[in-house]
Amino acid sequence: MWKLRGCARCNGDVYINRDEYGWFVQCLQCGYHSELVNIDEARKQMQSQSEAQHVSVDRKLKPED
């Protein structure tokens, strides 16, 4: 499967493939490759990153005693 302009590094075209280790994407232009995670793991990572950002913003906004 192809994804046009889907590369995180150069915005080039990537293809999605599978080997004995699992699913991955690889860029045709720059060669960047990354392992794909399942959707549940990706959601958990995004939620934890979002919560960490909210905590750091809250700390910056609260006046120090």
Contact 13, 5 (CB under 8 A): yes
- When mean pLDDT is compared across 3-12, 15-24, 45-54, 55-64, the lowest value belongs to 55-64
Query: Cα–Cα distances in Å, from 27 out to 6, 11, 22, 36, 61?
Result: 8, 9, 17, 13, 40
Q: For residue range 7-21, what is the model confidence (pLDDT) as tens digits?
A: 889 999 998 888 888
